[in-house]
């Protein structure tokens, strides 16, 4: 006789729900939002079904719909119309933060991405030296801290630096505290890798390195995919400098890193399911090769299983519908 054993707990949906170790909840998901200055209408983002480059008007409407779907946390990317090489103007993004907070207040948790790649003429995440072969660390960190302060002043609950300069967390914490913003959180993209999966995002945020440049990519500041030790050291450093939440980015190709870092570093961990990995699932689904909903839910389950507390995903706003239709 070979009777049922481990299969006993798998036999009904009720029992499977009851025994499940990992559950997905829209309250554990963060929805990215793009708001673009100077476009007359919202524009779809190629590859990211249901995600738009929003106008200030459509942005508020979208958040209203997202709240109805149970999503309460957002990561805002502001894309200004005019670009610069230094002395960046944070006012467009700041005005959008103020508008969101005026309309929704404490109903939403609003994190704001802090990087310069949508603000620079060349698309790099910082200020270039005169010979245009290096992103200068100190000058960039000062500009990032100024932007973070402007966003905190506008009402952001959290600032999220994604640039990968050294010591930006210390600089931002110091600047926020000096101006009385002791309660503004910092979510650090601490384990952000130099990934080939960021393509659709760069089109949405207008942030791909462009023009005649000696440094063509972000390899001199983002972490090498082959160096998990660098991700560990950078994350410990960011914790020590005052980050409240740490992040691994991208998600699926770095599950080992999520497991390892969340075990070793006792802060809340976010995972960013980035544009390329999200689009990969969407494209397979479009071709009829897989069921996209199942694949997305399975990816999110993997992130929680690996130790994440929260997930940044373009599909946050669909989570509830997808779970119900499963
Ligand atoms: C900006 C930034 C990037 C992403 C988030 N913030 C792109 C990059 O580093 O080139 C990627 C997000 C995604 O692909 O979904 N520095």
Sorted by where each begins, the domain ranges of the chain are: 23-324
- pLDDT of residue 108 exceeding 90, the answer is yes
Q: How far is the CA of 115 from the centre of ligand 1 (A)?
A: 9
Q: What is the mean pLDDT of the segment spanning 206-212? A: 85
- Whether residue 34 contacts residue 54, with contact meaning beta carbons closer than 8 Å, is answered with yes
Q: Say if residues 248 and 191 touch (Cβ distance below 8 Å).
A: yes
Q: Is the CB of 262 within 6 Å of ligand 1?
A: no
Decide: 252 in ligand 1 pocket, CB within 6 A. no
Report, as an integer, the average pLDDT of 109-127. 95
Ligand 1 site, residue 162, Cβ cutoff 6 A = yes
* Under 8 Å between Cβ of 181 and 159: no
Look-up of token digits 């933060």: 97
| Confidence class for position 211, pLDDT limits 50, 70, 90 | confident
Q: Is residue 262 within 8 Å of residue 308, measured between CB atoms?
A: yes
Ligand 1 centre to CA of 302 (Å) is 21
Band of residue 325 on the pLDDT scale cut at 50, 70, 90: confident
Please give the average per-residue pLDDT across 288-308, as a whole number: 98
Q: What is the pLDDT of residues 236-258, one digit of tens each?
A: 999 999 999 999 999 999 999 99
The per-residue pLDDT for 310 is 98
- CATH H-level superfamily of 23-324: Aldolase class I (3.20.20.70)
* Rounded average pLDDT over 314-325: 95
Residue 210 predicted with pLDDT over 90: no
Report the share of the chain in percent with pLDDT over 70: 100
Rounded distance from Cα 191 to ligand 1 centre (Å): 12
User: What is the chain's percent helix, strand, coil content, to nearest 5?
Assistant: 45, 20, 35
Phi then psi for residue 14, to 5 deg, are: -65, -45
Instruction: Read off the pLDDT band of 206 (50, 70, 90).
Output: confident
CA distance 181 to 193: 29
Question: Residue 90, CB half-sphere, CA atoms under 13 Å: how many?
Answer: 22
Beta partners for residue 188, in sequence order: 246
Nearest CA to ligand 1 atom 14: 198
Question: How far away, in angstroms, is 240 Cα from ligand 1 center?
Answer: 24
198 Cα nearest atom in ligand 1: 14
CA-nearest residue for atom 11, ligand 1, is 198
What 3-state class would DSSP assign to 290? coil
Ramachandran sector of residue 164 (left: φ over 0; alpha: ψ -120 to 50; beta: rest): left
Between the CA of 301 and the centroid of ligand 1 the distance, in Å, is 22
Sequence-ordered strand ranges (E) for the chain: 29-36, 43-45, 48-54, 73-79, 109-114, 127-128, 135-136, 158-161, 185-192, 245-249, 269-272, 310-312
Supply the mean pLDDT for the chain. 96
User: What is the average per-residue pLDDT within 161-180?
Assistant: 98
| 70 vs 206, higher pLDDT | 70
Distance from the alpha carbon of residue 36 to the mean position of ligand 1, in angstroms: 16
CA distance 62 to 102: 15
Residue 71 Cβ < 6 Å to ligand 1: no
Query: Does ligand 1 lie within 6 Å of residue 117's CB atom?
Result: yes
Q: Is the CB of 120 under 6 A from ligand 1?
A: no
To test the ligand 1 pocket, which listed residue (34, 125, 143, 207) has its Cβ within 8 A of the most ligand atoms? 207
Q: CA separation (Å) from 134 to 138, 164, 209?
A: 12, 14, 13
Nearest CA to ligand 1 atom 5: 162
Nearest to 255 by CA among 286, 211, 299, 316: 299
Tell how strand 29-36 and strand 48-54 pair up.
parallel
Q: Which atom of ligand 1 is nearest to the CA of 113?
A: 6
Question: What is the reported pLDDT for 229?
Answer: 98
Assess whether pLDDT exceeds 70 at residue 185. Answer: yes
CA distances from 273 to 27, 48, 213, 228, 247 (A): 16, 12, 29, 18, 11
Per-residue pLDDT of 62-77, as tens digits, reads: 999 999 999 999 999 9
* Contact yes or no for 253/225 (Cβ under 8 A): yes
pLDDT of residue 276: 98
Q: Enumerate the active-site residues.
A: 192, 249
> Does ligand 1 come within 6 angstroms of the Cβ of 201?
yes
Q: What is the pLDDT of residue 213?
A: 82
pTM across the whole model: 0.97
The residue ranking higher by pLDDT, 238 or 210, is 238
pLDDT at 212: 77
Whether the CB of 198 sits within 6 Å of ligand 1:
yes
326 pLDDT above the threshold of 80: no
The residue-averaged pLDDT of 195-217 equals 90
* pLDDT 10s digits, 3-43: 999 999 999 999 999 999 999 999 999 999 999 999 999 99
């Amino acid at each position: 006789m070979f009777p049922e054993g481990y299969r006993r707990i798998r036999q009904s949906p009720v029992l499977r729900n009851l025994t499940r170790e990992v559950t997905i909840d829209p309250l554990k998901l963060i929805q990215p939002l793009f708001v673009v200055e100077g476009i007359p209408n919202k524009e779809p983002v190629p590859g990211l079904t249901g995600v738009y480059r929003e106008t200030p008007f459509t942005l508020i409407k979208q958040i209203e719909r997202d709240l109805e779907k149970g999503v309460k946390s957002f990561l805002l990317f502001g894309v200004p119309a005019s670009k610069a090489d230094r002395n960046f103007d944070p006012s467009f993004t700041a005005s959008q933060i103020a508008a969101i907070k005026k309309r929704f207040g404490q109903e939403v948790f609003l994190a704001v991405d802090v990087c310069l790649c949508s603000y620079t003429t060349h698309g790099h995440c910082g200020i270039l030296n005169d010979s245009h072969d290096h992103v200068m660390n100190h000058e960039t960190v000062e500009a990032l801290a100024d932007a973070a302060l402007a966003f905190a002043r506008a009402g952001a609950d959290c600032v999220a630096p994604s640039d990968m300069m050294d010591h930006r967390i210390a600089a931002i914490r110091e600047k926020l505290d000096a101006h009385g913003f002791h309660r503004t959180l910092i979510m650090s993209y601490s384990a952000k890798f130099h990934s080939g999966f960021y393509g659709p995002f760069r089109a949405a945020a207008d942030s791909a390195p462009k023009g005649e440049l000696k440094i063509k990519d972000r390899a001199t500041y983002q972490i090498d995919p082959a160096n998990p030790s660098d991700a560990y050291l950078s994350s410990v450093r960011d914790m020590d400098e005052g980050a409240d939440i740490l992040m691994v980015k991208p998600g699926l190709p770095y599950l080992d890193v999520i497991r390892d870092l969340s075990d070793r570093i006792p802060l809340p961990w976010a995972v960013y399911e980035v544009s390329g990995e999200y689009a990969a699932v969407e494209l397979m689904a479009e071709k009829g090769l897989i069921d996209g909903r199942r694949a997305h839910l399975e990816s999110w389950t993997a992130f929680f299983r690996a130790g994440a507390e929260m997930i940044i995903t373009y599909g946050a706003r669909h989570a509830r519908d997808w779970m119900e239709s499963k």
